[in-house]
């Protein structure tokens, strides 16, 4: 009886250890699936898609995790076969410079134009005169002297 209890405890603890390892793998698995795009239904991740290809790729991701590959290695494995398109976050490269920086360039440009316009209007509103106006004023004042 005692022996059975000891074995039982051992199994229980070992099972616990297996479960814990499995949970870490599961978390990585889930996180990876959300990083990867299904190529059939292109606006869904591997986690969301019901396509058969997504099922095959999920199985491949699971196999690679079981082979102790790192997240980076798994992503590179799939990228080598399906290209950058499989990544939800495209890499920063010469081809993607416009994609990554475009919105910020447009934002900066718009902000700059807006600021200039506001400053100009502000200057006018606070009594500042343009060159043309100053010239006209000078002429008027001169006439007053005669």
Partner 1 sequence: MMRGWLVVVVFAGLVVMLAIGLTRDPSRVSSPLVGLPVPAFQAERLSSAEENFDSAALRGEWSLLNIWASWCTTCLEEHDLLMRLSQQLALYGINHRDTRDEAQNWLQVYGNPYRSSAFDEHGEVGIELGVYKVPETFLLDPDGVIRYKHIGALDEKAYREEILARIRGERS
Q: Is 83 in the site for partner 1 (CB under 8 A)?
A: yes
Residue from 21, 31, 40, 114 touching partner 1 (CB under 8 A): that is 40
Using rule CB under 8 A, residue 123 touches partner 1? no
> Is 103 an interacting residue with respect to partner 1 (CB under 8 A)?
no
Task: Give which of 83, 91, 92 is closest to 37, Cα–Cα.
Answer: 83
Does residue 118 belong to the site contacting partner 1 (CB under 8 A)? no
Residue 91 binds partner 1, judged by CB under 8 A: no
Question: Is 19 a residue that touches partner 1 (CB under 8 A)?
Answer: no
Binding partner 1 (rule: CB under 8 A), the pick from 23, 26, 81, 136 is 81
Closer residue to partner 1, CB minimum distance, 59 or 136:
59
Q: Note the residues at the interface with partner 1 (CB under 8 A).
A: 39-40, 42, 52-53, 56-57, 60, 79-85, 98, 106, 109, 113, 116
């Amino acid at each position: 009886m005692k022996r059975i209890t000891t074995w039982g405890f051992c199994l229980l603890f070992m099972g616990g250890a297996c479960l814990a390892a499995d949970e870490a793998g599961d978390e990585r698995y889930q996180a990876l699936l959300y990083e990867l795009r299904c190529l059939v239904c292109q606006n869904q991740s591997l986690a969301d898609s019901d396509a058969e290809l997504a099922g095959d790729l999920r199985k491949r991701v699971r196999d690679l995790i079981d082979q102790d590959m790192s997240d980076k290695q798994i992503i590179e494995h799939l990228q080598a076969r399906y290209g950058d398109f499989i990544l939800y976050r495209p890499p920063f490269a010469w081809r993607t410079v416009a994609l990554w920086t475009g919105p910020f360039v447009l934002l900066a440009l718009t902000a700059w134009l807006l600021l200039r316009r506001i400053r100009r209007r502000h200057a006018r509103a606070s009594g500042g005169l343009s060159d043309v106006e100053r010239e006209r004023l000078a002429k008027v004042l001169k006439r007053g002297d005669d």
